[in-house]
Amino acid sequence: MIPKRRSTKPDKVIIARFMSEEEIAIPATASVKLDRAALVANWNALNEMSGKAKAGAAVKANGYGLGARDVVRHLLDAGCDDFFVANWQEAREIEDLTAGKASVSVLNGVRDADMSFALQSSAKPVLNSLDQVNRWQSSNRPCDIMINSGMNRLGLNVADLNLELFAGMSIDLAMSHLASADEDGPQNGEQLAAYTAGLDLVPHQRTSLANSAGIALGSEYHFDLTRPGLALYGGIQRPELAAVIRQVAMPQAEILQVRTLHIDDKLGYNARYVAKQEHPVAILAMGYADGYLRGFSDRGIFRHEGRELPVLGRVSMDLIAIDLTSAPDLKEGDWVDCDYDLLAASAQSGLSQYELITGLGSRLSRYWV
């Protein structure tokens, strides 16, 4: 017998709430402006730098926080054919865009718990362990193989590889991942050698080693397919990339209040800033809950039409104070741009470029121009 529902009332209340939320727009108080032309130019530049190899795109972590679906749409239009996500939820998120159009690889591989979804998905797992190989072997479905060339994160050890292991499997990419491509030490060469040795022991259609920084290491590292992530979104991990990579994401916030500080007035939590002279400040609708972390306290920079507006005192959860000395005309309701060039912002805040881009909070509305 189907249990009788207690009441239909709660549903009605919920529906009414949704409807009214749809009818009355609430404009954002802080957002991230995303530059489609810059994203596409970055992919084209990385594809060019990849020489004979084709560039794919890492779109894991919701397209490094920018919105995987929009990133995938723009990169499909640009000609990108290969996407990399971390898990099957992320594969499902873009499946209607990629199915039949592009290859999607799931970097974390496949667990037992993923099998029912994975077996009917158009994405393929990157098999990282012997258990994962066994799990996938009888499926007769395509997969990729990750070779551990020395990072010792995910991947099959070269010593465990042999051609029989993969009997009957349809392997597209035999890949590996560089641990220190942003540095010039010996590890890159060691990993290149280990990966190359591993390739003889994995039947495959295509090869792939380089992430963004790896692309700048030169043609020996390019193989058939490169896998840039960070650089697509404006990150610069090696000086060779500085000339070609453009900023993609620019946070912006509305001014909620303008006030004048007088000599010796204290500002913000713990009074980290004390005014030495009279000057105007603005309070912005953004804070560390939006990913603008406290490392930017006293260091971050906002701008309005080129005028520099330094962050004063501690960044709060939802609010930031900036100096309006150079822009005393600004008032409540005006918007200012956050200096979020990833290389510079990383130096300012002590956070990595990866943390800066993936950390932009979900409270910030995102819009593409």
Ligand X SMILES: *Cc1c(COP(=O)(O)O)cnc(C)c1O
User: Which positions are annotated as active-site residues?
Assistant: 60, 269
Residue 119 tokens read as 């077996």
From 34, 58, 216, 322, residue interacting with ligand X (rule: CB under 6 A): 58
Site mask, ligand X, residues 107-126, x = CB under 6 A?
A: x-------------------
From 124, 204, 227, 366, residue interacting with ligand X (rule: CB under 6 A): 227
Q: How far is residue 206's CA from residue 302's CA, in Å, rounded to a whole number?
A: 45
Sign of CA dihedral 271, 276, 282, 286: negative
Stretch that binds ligand X, among 25-33, 228-236, 266-274, 296-304 (CB under 6 A): 228-236
From 63, 228, 268, 313, residue interacting with ligand X (rule: CB under 6 A): 228
| Region label for 234, one of left (φ > 0), alpha (ψ between -120 and 50) or beta (otherwise) | left
Q: How far is residue 67's CA from residue 77's CA, in Å, rounded to a whole number?
A: 16
With DSSP H G I counted as helix, E B as strand and the rest as coil, what are the percentages for the chain, rounded to 5? Answer: 35, 20, 45
Q: How far is residue 175's CA from residue 169's CA, in Å, rounded to a whole number?
A: 16
Please report whether residue 251 would count as binding ligand X according to CB under 6 A.
no
- 97 Cβ contact partners less than 8 Å away, ≥ 6 residues apart: 69, 72, 73, 76
Residue 310 tokens read as 């330094």
Residue 180 tokens read as 């220190």
Site mask, ligand X, residues 129-168, x = CB under 6 A?
A: ----------------------------------------
What is the three-class DSSP state of 82? strand
| Of residues 136, 208, 133, the one with CA closest to residue 121 | 136
From 229, 234, 268, 313, residue interacting with ligand X (rule: CB under 6 A): 229
Please report whether residue 230 would count as binding ligand X according to CB under 6 A.
yes
Smallest distance from the beta carbon of 160 to ligand X, in angstroms? 19
Smallest distance from the beta carbon of 71 to ligand X, in angstroms? 13
Please report whether residue 211 would count as binding ligand X according to CB under 6 A.
yes
Please report whether residue 222 would count as binding ligand X according to CB under 6 A.
no
Please report whether residue 103 would count as binding ligand X according to CB under 6 A.
no
Please report whether residue 212 would count as binding ligand X according to CB under 6 A.
yes
Q: How far is residue 119's CA from residue 85's CA, in Å, rounded to a whole number?
A: 17
Amino acid sitting at position 88: W
Please report whether residue 177 would count as binding ligand X according to CB under 6 A.
yes
**Which of 151, 256 has the CB closer to ligand X?**
151
Q: Which residues bind ligand X (CB under 6 A)?
A: 58, 60, 84, 107, 177, 211-212, 227-231
